[in-house]
Amino acid sequence: MIYRDSKTILEVRGLRASVDGVEILKGLDLTVKSGEVHAIMGPNGSGKSTFSKVLAGHSAYEVTGGSVLFEGRNLFELVPEERARAGVFLAFQYPIEIPGVANSQFLRLTYNTVQAQRGRDELDPLEFDDFVREKMKLLEMNPDFLERSVNEGFSGGEKKRNEILQMALLEPRLAILDETDSGLDIDALRIVSNGVNHLANKDNAMVLVTHYQRLLNYIVPDYVHVMEAGRIIKTGGKELALELETRGYDWVSAERKAAMEVAA
């Protein structure tokens, strides 16, 4: 939701980034304020996922230009774990499986690490168990998931629910959801969306990276951005998503080319 006196959480200016020497992001601009939900849409290869990974600090993505301020701090001065502790959260498109590590152990360690960094109390295993079970209800997750290895053998929907559970535990200021809707059936999509809606408040912000409009029926964005060739080329309200769904992405780039020709 757009609030009048909201603070700027994320300010991206002219961001350029490469993977293996190939430039993917070519001058991306974006401003996200607290309370807002942004959707970034675009065809495959437009750089959406690269943008997500750059924000989270993946080392395979090299930032070659521009700036990103997170709550006024230079994000690129922080290593990935510092970003997470400061309040940046990336829900992975493909959550990693970690055989041999119990989900409960992983969740408690990450929770306590972040709590300690934020100067808050850590929870012992029993306290944490009560706490996480409450959070799991929000995502209609069976407590059995605590005993299993992290994401191992989870279905696509279960993995995505586990991502949102981590988001609920870590209480980020900025959550980036990378293709969270991919691979979800309609029930899982509803559950995951409910969870995200429940977690969104006036002090945090969500960036939904998605290929399809479907997710936006459940999580209603304040802004929809269209990405093409490493830049945001059009921004609108939630109705832009519906228009993209019916007309595809091509008309946006056609419109943009026409506008550029007029300007020339």
Residue ranges binding other proteins (CB under 8 A): 56-60, 79-81, 83-85, 89-90, 92, 95-96, 98-101, 106, 109-110, 113-114, 117, 149, 166, 170
51 or 249: CB nearest other proteins: 51
Q: In the bound complex, what is the minimum distance in angstroms from residue 152's beta carbon to other proteins?
A: 10
Q: Classify residue 214 by its DSSP letter.
A: G
Q: In the bound complex, what is the minimum distance in angstroms from residue 39's beta carbon to other proteins?
A: 21
Beta strands 22-33; 37-41: pairing state? unpaired
Structure tokens at 143: 């407590």
Q: In the bound complex, what is the minimum distance in angstroms from residue 233's beta carbon to other proteins?
A: 28
209 or 241: CB nearest other proteins: 209
Residue with tokens 């065809």: 43
Instruction: Determine contact, residues 23/231, Cβ cutoff 8 Å.
Output: no
Q: In the bound complex, what is the minimum distance in angstroms from residue 248's beta carbon to other proteins?
A: 32
68 or 114: CB nearest other proteins: 114
Produce one character per residue of 186-195: b if its CB has 16 or more CB atoms within 10 Å, e if not: eebbebbbbb
1 or 60: CB nearest other proteins: 60
Q: Which residues pair with 19 in a beta bridge?
A: 22, 61
Residue with tokens 């279905």: 155
